[in-house]
Amino acid sequence: MVGGSGDALELMRPVFSAYASNIFHVGKLGDAQVLKLLNNLVLAANMMNAAELLKLGEDYGLDPRTVASVVQACSGGSAAMGIFAQRDVAEGLEHGAYARAHRSQVH
C-alpha cells in the first residue's frame, strides 16, 4: 500500500518491487497508513471470531487444531483461520482472550 503522488510511486516502484509482490497505490499521502489500520482491524476481528469458534469446538470436545484445519479447507476458511490451522492452537484458548490481547490496536 502506497500513499502519495503517482509520480512518487513510479519513482520508488523498483525499490518496492524488491521486497513486495503486491503494490497498491491507494491515494494521497497518509491514505496507506489508514488502509493498513483498517486491514489490521478486520484481521483482528476475524482472528477473534476464529479463536471463539475454536474455543467453542474445544468446549464440545473437539481438537482445536482439527477444527481449524477442517474449517480452513471448507467454506469458513480465511486468512485468520489459516493462521490457527498452522500452529498449536490448544494452548491459551479462552473466551475473549484474543480480543483482550489486541484491544490496544483499536484505541
Point out the residues that are catalytic: 36
For residue 25, the cross-strand partners are: 2
Q: How far apart are CA 100 and CA 64, in angstroms?
A: 20
Sequence-distant (6+) residues with CB within 8 A of 90 are 58, 63, 64, 65
Cβ distance 78 to 54 under 8 Å? no
